[in-house]
Chain A
Amino acid sequence: MSSTGPIKQARKSLLWLGVIFLISAAILITGVLSGKAALAPKLALDLEGGTQMILAPRVAGGDAATQEQLDQAVEIIRQRVDGTGVSEAEITTQSGRNVVVSMPGIPDTRTRELIQASANMEFRAVILAGSFTAVPEDQRLAKADLPKPTAKPENGSDVNWVDAALYQKFEKFDCPTELGQRSDEEHEADEPMISCDPDVGQKYILGPVEVPGADISDSSFSMARGQQGAVTGQWAVNLEFNADGTKKFAEVTQRLTALEGAQNQFAIVLDGTVISAPRSNAVIPDGKAQITGNFTEESSKALADQLKFGALPISFEIQSEQQISATLGSDQLRSGLIAGIIGLILVAIYSIFQYRLLGVVTIVSLLVSGVLTYLALVLLGWSMNYRLSLAGVAGLIVAIGLIADSFIVYFERIRDELRDGRPLPSAVEIGWKRAKRTILASKAVNILAAVVLYIVAVGNVRGFAFTLGLTAVVDIIVVFLLTHPILQLLGKTKFFGEGHRFSGLDPSLLGVVPLYRGAGKVRSFSPEAEGARGKKNAKAASEATRRQTIAERRKAATSVSAPTTQDDSADKDSTNG
């Protein structure tokens, strides 16, 4: 009858746990076999060694940086760091306020400067355009044919900027190589420079800076409109200059529009690389320019963003910089793990001392929680690049206690039910019903705390909050799908069901008075409980009363044998109250 229900349920729950376990393991094994995932969780820098910089953006003018600006800044820093050849650098924003740069090893001075520097955007006129790659040696100009400046250059488009040395350098300049190395050459604002446009595959000799990026006041993207104002179906990037920029840009366009060929173009240079080199079709007197071309919606947005934020001189102040030696990192990891194992052993000993064989259930549940947490950490490391930090390890160790508590709450509830004289299987079911609520409510507090901490916190705190939240979820899974089903099954065994001395559920130790006391005497329920029924809060009231009157029930049941002690207890009760 009722006995088949819980068993079936228990098997189903265990099956579900098995399914969760197998699926995660299968995903992991696939990942490992395909070489994309590792078997160990990814470690953060404080455990692995390396450098972590936390940078606070400083926007010129003292405004706070917006999330968009930060994202753009991260993009710029990423390009710069990648350019220096540092592999595996991770650059992220944190809480929408800081930029965190993590990289293995110790960065050189140049890399550190690059990370801190503000984006450098400028407008330069194109003097000469050439092929993206280096000109083959046999096709280069003979020495006699090299350009010789005849006069001092008059303006930014003047070919007199190009002398023999610059031209030779231009011929040799191989964009794929140069972009790969991201040369750290400083480009003087009043000197010509060589730069590449990777999008169209051109390299240019550019004149001195005509308009600095800081003069851009806004930029956006939209559908271009024709002369009559009709939408042409082309995407365009709109640019707006401030007063200064408007004046300078008007002069530039006036000059360029009259010129032909490459000299008709001006280049928008970001950190030394040309991001766009549009032709100048008309004089722009009002500082409102529109760039058209083969834009898609995406590429026009990308350019508009670059113009908008690249122009904003965000620089970064190092808030904290940590260079952690690999030795210290592994020391810390080892200590953390030792602490965890000692903690686990202590908890195991205490559980066995307190709950005898039930303690074994605790240990098994803890171990399974450990395995599930491990799987989650590895999978998150793979999919979300989650890295375990020392604070995270501390979170895991603290979680041992919090996880074990769910089992304690549950076991104590079962004991309470046993004390009420229920047989084990129904004590398990009813105890579970009550414990479930408590466990869910208390875990909700934990998860809430973890989520709030994770969202609000900076730095180390997040790693800690993350593992704390993760283990709370794992705990719920384990209690529902493992601990409870195990107890349902154990309740049917003779060892536990009859309350063996070592089962941790020995009724005689729990002061249980069996319902049926032999010779036809049945323990009676208290009249108060009867009276409470049918009232407004009947169910709860009867429940509450039932629980409070065990002493009385015992009194009723054992009045023959030990009336005095019962009176005693009743007295004590009321005087304490």
Chain B
Amino acid sequence: MGNLATWGNELYTGKRSYPFTGKRKLWLSISAVLVLLAILVPVVKGGFTLGIEFRGGSEFTISQVEHTEVPIGEEAVLAIAPDHQPRVTNIAPNTMRVQTDKLTDDQTLEVAEALSGAYGVTKSEVTSTFVGPTWGADISKQALIGLVVFVLLVALLMAVYFRTWKMSLAAIIGLLQVVVITAGIYALSGFEVTPSAIIGFLTILSYSLYDTVVVFDKVRENTAGYEGQVKRNFEELVNLGVNQTLVRSINTSVVAVLPVASILFIGSYLLGAGTLKDLSLALFIGIIVSALSTLFVQAPLYSWLRDGEPEIMRHNKKIDEHRLAHA
């Protein structure tokens, strides 16, 4: 604590400073490479592993099973739908999952009944999901509309709040980068893309900007009236803001990640699959990427966007002269 606080002090006063904006070319190049990789990963892997909601089909979860043998589940399905090859997996202690291709709605019910018999449970222990082939597309379309509407509105909100569209632009570019990288890592993990994962991605949008707004607010405060001083140039002021909020950024990320990690853990080990696991994985990756992106992409990008402005160039020149004179 003592050391951490001292570290915080030094960051605050500027005694210690990490070159977030100073080496912005390096950071931005790295993130560009990461984005490319994130796009390449799913391409190389042959696309995302789509969940049943996107493929269409039927899924059965049988709880409290007496035994966890795979063949009897397969037989039960084949007895009713002979031309469907079922995938039977033991996803958690006492829990089996059976996935099939598109059964008809009625077959779905019959299979559910057959499975309850096969695993010696009452019918009420079988959870069945029948998903029509267009459902996933429907969800994705709505999610995409949501994304576009949200990005437009939030860009407007930030432009008004910060009174500069460049902050807004930097934040949105960073946001897109976060989503792409998170999606890439998600694809790499081989987890299925389900509606829950989509929820996770949409939440990251909100989280990423939330994180950026906090840091940008400090940057805005620092850079207000930058022309009235000759100690730091604009880019250094931005960097100071990022450094001053570094302790907050770390604390916030840790605090945000802890509950998500606990969902991920519980979701993976106790439940095996489902809403919690996919959602929390997307969030887990997304929160970490968002926090890094604010520091290494959004803030540097903002200083870069502003550096070309004549007024700032003039100020930079003034500072260089001042430094030369006082060297």
Residues of B within 8 A of A409 (CB): 214, 248, 252
Answer whether residue B210 sits at the interface, using C-beta atoms and an 8 A cutoff.
yes
Using A441-B161, A457-B142 as known contacts, say yes or no to A416 and B12 having CB atoms under 8 A apart. Answer: yes
Q: How large is the interface on B (under 10, 10 to 19, 20 to 34, 35 or more residues)?
A: 35 or more
Q: Which of B53, B127, B213 contacts A438 (CB 8 A)?
A: B213
Name which residue of chain B comes closest to A334, CB basis.
B270
Tell me how far the C-beta of B133 lies from the nearest C-beta in chain A, rounded to whole angstroms. Answer: 9
Answer whether residue A562 sits at the interface, using C-beta atoms and an 8 A cutoff.
no
Name which residue of chain B comes closest to A565, CB basis.
B15
Answer whether residue B42 sits at the interface, using C-beta atoms and an 8 A cutoff.
no
When the two chains form their complex, are residues A339 and B262 in contact, meaning their CB atoms are under 8 A apart?
yes
Using A456-B146, A459-B139 as known contacts, say yes or no to A576 and B6 having CB atoms under 8 A apart. Answer: no
When the two chains form their complex, are residues A540 and B224 in contact, meaning their CB atoms are under 8 A apart?
yes
Residues of B within 8 A of A576 (CB): 17-19, 22, 236, 239
Using A319-B135, A548-B231 as known contacts, say yes or no to A450 and B275 having CB atoms under 8 A apart. Answer: no
Using A394-B275, A404-B255, A528-B229 as known contacts, say yes or no to A325 and B266 having CB atoms under 8 A apart. Answer: no
The segment out of A141-149, A272-280, A351-359, A369-377 that lies at the interface is A351-359
Answer whether residue B86 sits at the interface, using C-beta atoms and an 8 A cutoff.
no
When the two chains form their complex, are residues A544 and B202 in contact, meaning their CB atoms are under 8 A apart?
no
The segment out of B27-35, B66-74, B147-155 that lies at the interface is B147-155
Tell me how far the C-beta of B209 lies from the nearest C-beta in chain A, rounded to whole angstroms. Answer: 5
The segment out of A32-40, A126-134, A395-403 that lies at the interface is A395-403
Q: Which of A346, A391, A401, A404 contacts B279 (CB 8 A)?
A: A391
When the two chains form their complex, are residues A328 and B61 in contact, meaning their CB atoms are under 8 A apart?
yes
Answer whether residue A30 sits at the interface, using C-beta atoms and an 8 A cutoff.
no
Query: What is the CA–CA distance of A98 and B139 in the complex, to the nearest angstrom?
Result: 11
Q: Which of A112, A324, A548 contacts B240 (CB 8 A)?
A: A548
Residues of A within 8 A of B63 (CB): 325, 327-328, 331
Using A322-B127, A419-B13, A464-B199 as known contacts, say yes or no to A402 and B154 having CB atoms under 8 A apart. Answer: no
Residues of B within 8 A of A452 (CB): 146, 149-150, 153
The digit string for A331-374, where 1 denotes a CB below 8 A from any CB of B, is 11001101110111011001101101000000000000000000
Answer whether residue B37 sits at the interface, using C-beta atoms and an 8 A cutoff.
no
Which among A506, A509, A542 has the highest number of chain B CB atoms within 10 Å? A509
Tell me how far the C-beta of B136 lies from the nearest C-beta in chain A, rounded to whole angstroms. Answer: 9
Residues of A within 8 A of B260 (CB): 343, 397-398, 401
When the two chains form their complex, are residues A445 and B213 in contact, meaning their CB atoms are under 8 A apart?
yes
Using A49-B124, A335-B276, A401-B259 as known contacts, say yes or no to A415 and B8 having CB atoms under 8 A apart. Answer: yes
Answer whether residue B164 sits at the interface, using C-beta atoms and an 8 A cutoff.
no
When the two chains form their complex, are residues B255 and A408 in contact, meaning their CB atoms are under 8 A apart?
yes
Using A456-B146, A548-B222 as known contacts, say yes or no to A535 and B228 having CB atoms under 8 A apart. Answer: yes
Answer whether residue B117 sits at the interface, using C-beta atoms and an 8 A cutoff.
no
When the two chains form their complex, are residues A577 and B239 in contact, meaning their CB atoms are under 8 A apart?
yes
The digit string for B152-187, where 1 denotes a CB below 8 A from any CB of A, is 011001100100000000000000000000000000
When the two chains form their complex, are residues B6 and A343 in contact, meaning their CB atoms are under 8 A apart?
no
Answer whether residue B112 sits at the interface, using C-beta atoms and an 8 A cutoff.
yes
Answer whether residue A493 sits at the interface, using C-beta atoms and an 8 A cutoff.
no
Tell me how far the C-beta of B323 lies from the nearest C-beta in chain A, rounded to whole angstroms. Answer: 7
When the two chains form their complex, are residues A577 and B233 in contact, meaning their CB atoms are under 8 A apart?
yes
Name which residue of chain A comes closest to B266, CB basis.
A339
Using A464-B199, A544-B226, A576-B22 as known contacts, say yes or no to A351 and B157 having CB atoms under 8 A apart. Answer: no
Residues of A within 8 A of B224 (CB): 537, 540-541, 543-544
Tell me how far the C-beta of B14 lies from the nearest C-beta in chain A, rounded to whole angstroms. Answer: 5
When the two chains form their complex, are residues A412 and B275 in contact, meaning their CB atoms are under 8 A apart?
no
Using A49-B124, A445-B154, A577-B233 as known contacts, say yes or no to A321 and B135 having CB atoms under 8 A apart. Answer: no
Which among A397, A543, A576 has the highest number of chain B CB atoms within 10 Å? A576
Query: What is the CA–CA distance of A511 and B7 in the complex, to the nearest angstrom?
Result: 10
Answer whether residue A549 sits at the interface, using C-beta atoms and an 8 A cutoff.
yes
The digit string for A438-459, where 1 denotes a CB below 8 A from any CB of B, is 1001101110111011001111
Q: Which of A46, A415, A464 contacts B203 (CB 8 A)?
A: A464
When the two chains form their complex, are residues B130 and A544 in contact, meaning their CB atoms are under 8 A apart?
no
Using A398-B259, A398-B260, A510-B5 as known contacts, say yes or no to A468 and B237 having CB atoms under 8 A apart. Answer: no
Interface of A is mostly: helix
When the two chains form their complex, are residues B228 and A545 in contact, meaning their CB atoms are under 8 A apart?
yes
When the two chains form their complex, are residues A544 and B213 in contact, meaning their CB atoms are under 8 A apart?
no
Residues of A within 8 A of B128 (CB): 321-323
The segment out of A10-18, A307-315, A566-574 that lies at the interface is A566-574
Tell me how far the C-beta of B63 lies from the nearest C-beta in chain A, rounded to whole angstroms. Answer: 4
Tell me how far the C-beta of A59 lies from the nearest C-beta in chain B, rounded to whole angstroms. Answer: 16
Which among B13, B153, B230, B257 has the highest number of chain A CB atoms within 10 Å? B13
Answer whether residue B131 sits at the interface, using C-beta atoms and an 8 A cutoff.
yes
Number of A residues contacting the other chain (C-beta, 8 Å)?
A: 105
Name which residue of chain A comes closest to B113, CB basis.
A106
Tell me how far the C-beta of A411 lies from the nearest C-beta in chain B, rounded to whole angstroms. Answer: 9
Residues of A within 8 A of B123 (CB): 106
Q: Which of A56, A321, A351, A400 contacts B259 (CB 8 A)?
A: A400
Answer whether residue A140 sits at the interface, using C-beta atoms and an 8 A cutoff.
no
Residues of B within 8 A of A574 (CB): 236, 323
When the two chains form their complex, are residues B153 and A532 in contact, meaning their CB atoms are under 8 A apart?
no
Tell me how far the C-beta of B201 lies from the nearest C-beta in chain A, rounded to whole angstroms. Answer: 10
When the two chains form their complex, are residues B130 and A401 in contact, meaning their CB atoms are under 8 A apart?
no
Query: What is the CA–CA distance of A419 and B252 in the complex, to the nearest angstrom?
Result: 20
Tell me how far the C-beta of A572 lies from the nearest C-beta in chain B, rounded to whole angstroms. Answer: 7
Residues of B within 8 A of A320 (CB): 53, 129-132, 135
Residues of B within 8 A of A474 (CB): none
Answer whether residue B292 sits at the interface, using C-beta atoms and an 8 A cutoff.
no
Query: What is the CA–CA distance of A46 and B129 in the complex, to the nearest angstrom?
Result: 11
When the two chains form their complex, are residues A468 and B203 in contact, meaning their CB atoms are under 8 A apart?
yes
Name which residue of chain B comes closest to A545, CB basis.
B229
Name which residue of chain B comes closest to A401, CB basis.
B256
The digit string for A164-192, where 1 denotes a CB below 8 A from any CB of B, is 00000000000000000000000000000
When the two chains form their complex, are residues A405 and B132 in contact, meaning their CB atoms are under 8 A apart?
no
When the two chains form their complex, are residues B9 and A510 in contact, meaning their CB atoms are under 8 A apart?
yes
Answer whether residue A110 sits at the interface, using C-beta atoms and an 8 A cutoff.
no
Using A331-B271, A448-B153, A457-B142 as known contacts, say yes or no to A545 and B279 having CB atoms under 8 A apart. Answer: no
When the two chains form their complex, are residues B135 and A456 in contact, meaning their CB atoms are under 8 A apart?
no
The 8 residue pairs across chains A and B that have the minimum distance between CB atoms: A343-B259, A541-B225, A401-B256, A541-B228, A449-B206, A511-B9, A577-B236, A569-B15
- Known contacts A350-B254, A441-B213, A456-B142; 20 additional CB pairs below 8 A are A54-B135, A321-B108, A325-B127, A327-B124, A327-B125, A332-B276, A340-B262, A342-B265, A346-B258, A391-B275, A408-B248, A409-B248, A446-B206, A459-B139, A461-B142, A509-B6, A544-B223, A544-B237, A569-B10, A573-B232
- 30 of the cross-chain contacts (CB-CB < 8 Å) are A56-B138, A109-B106, A317-B132, A319-B132, A323-B128, A335-B270, A336-B266, A339-B276, A340-B259, A342-B259, A347-B255, A390-B274, A401-B252, A402-B256, A412-B248, A419-B12, A434-B221, A444-B161, A448-B150, A449-B150, A456-B145, A456-B146, A461-B143, A506-B5, A540-B225, A545-B231, A548-B222, A549-B231, A574-B323, A576-B236
Chain A residues within 8 Å of B, Cβ to Cβ? 46, 49, 54, 56, 95, 97-98, 106, 109, 112, 317-328, 331-332, 335-336, 338-340, 342-344, 346-347, 350-351, 353-354, 356, 390-391, 394, 397-398, 400-402, 404-405, 408-409, 412, 415-416, 419, 434, 437-438, 441-442, 444-446, 448-450, 452-453, 456-461, 464, 468, 506, 509-511, 528, 531-532, 535, 537-538, 540-545, 547-552, 554, 569, 572-574, 576-577
Chain B residues within 8 Å of A, Cβ to Cβ? 1-2, 4-6, 8-10, 12-19, 22, 53, 61, 63-64, 105-106, 108-109, 112, 123-132, 134-135, 138-139, 142-143, 145-146, 149-150, 153-154, 157-158, 161, 195-196, 198-199, 202-203, 205-207, 209-210, 213-214, 217-218, 221-233, 235-237, 239-240, 244-245, 247-248, 251-252, 254-263, 265-267, 270-271, 274-276, 279-280, 283, 287, 323
